[in-house]
Structure 1
Amino acid sequence: MTTTVRVLESSEEDVRRGPEIIIHENKYEFCRYNLKISRFINANLGFSAHVWDAGVALCRYFEKEKINFTGKKVIELGSGTGIVGILAALLGGYVTMTDKPKVLKQIETNVSINIPSVCRHRVNIRPLMWGENHTNFNPAYDFILGSDIVYSSVVYPALIETLRYLADQGATIYLSSELRKSNGSPDFHNNLLPHYFNCQVVDRIEGKDVVVYKMTKIATTSEEDPLPSKE
């Protein structure tokens, strides 16, 4: 399966200069929804201030497969700009969008721009540090979403711990990643994740190393299949 990425007005960005930050806005279209995504460029958000190909690929996959989240409980990890979680909410989901505390303002801004007020009660924005406060969340989710969150081998054990906890009641996981040898993400997906999850490649971007995985948790005891070391 292939995905064609279509970005509207990608060569033109509206730039607003505020008292503290510069906001770049890009426009996208998915599932007949026109999204305006703000990126806080100089707010020390690092990778979170970008819309990555993996996020666009996951949105396109939802569009191509006509995914319907109506009435479903969804949590997004590493929401960043919020583009994936926003689309899931527009497609009917009750969506919890999560990231590090300093990123939440960017997410809140994009939710306020793109989610109609009558639907905003279905969106919850919360801080989540993988491997630290994930047990504060009730793992009764139907779907877990993540795009380009497999970026550093340092966080892989915490990410797996968090995914296993959140998927404990049978959630379907959609994980979209750009595979980069420099950070060990091919090995993470091909060798490490299959120890804990049933993994299936459901989409990829033609000409790029961006792959969309569909996963479910393998039911094992901690003694049978321990988590990887955090060291």
Structure 2
Amino acid sequence: MISVLIADDHPLVRDGIVAILTRESDISVVAEASSGPEAAALVARHDPDVVLMDLRMPGGDGVEAIRALRARGAQGRAGAGSAGVGGSGVGSSRGARLGGAEVAASGLLRPRILVLTTYDTDHDIRAALAAGADGYLLKDTPRAELIRAVRDLAAGRTVLSAAALAALAGRGVAGVALTPRESDVLRELAAGGTNREAAARLLVSETTFKTHLARVYEKLGVSDRAAAVRVAYERALI
């Protein structure tokens, strides 16, 4: 079951999203928030798999809430010291708690955050993704696409609207030189799945995959899968 938290200051919008998602047998809405700070508090309490976050809310916007959630996770990673590139040291299928965020057994930082908003400017899109969002969709997204996005995020994929892709493409290519194998690894990250599954698709051992993954992280200047995928899209590497 995929647990979802909805953060939006309009009750009718929340009601509509709840109605769409709760019709699915594999999705459960565990909490609703009307502001960024409330969303951050409810994430700590309910530990959802996916957060749907609006950008403009009273008392602290969505970007600030995303930063708060990711900063909490970064503090936990610094203190935990047991969840490396491959997520080693994770003792359960659910994952290891990291200061209010969680690293799942697949190595993904939880919760997965999807911005769902009416704002499609380059500034808003880049700010949200830079803060740590894993996806960006507009509120005119068809219901079937929203449902698919929730499932994709929970599976580790990145979900971006056409406007978001255009905004990222406009940033140009930075000087990052990846080997063909490292490019393959980066594409596997974007596709989602575990290290073991990705290694099998590339016909290499999981250890070899993790070695390439560590090099990708180093070259991109990131420390987790979501950040690697964001940077890859920003720099047109995939």
Same fold (TM over 0.5): no
Greater strand percent: which structure? 1
The structure whose residues are more often helix, as a share, is 2
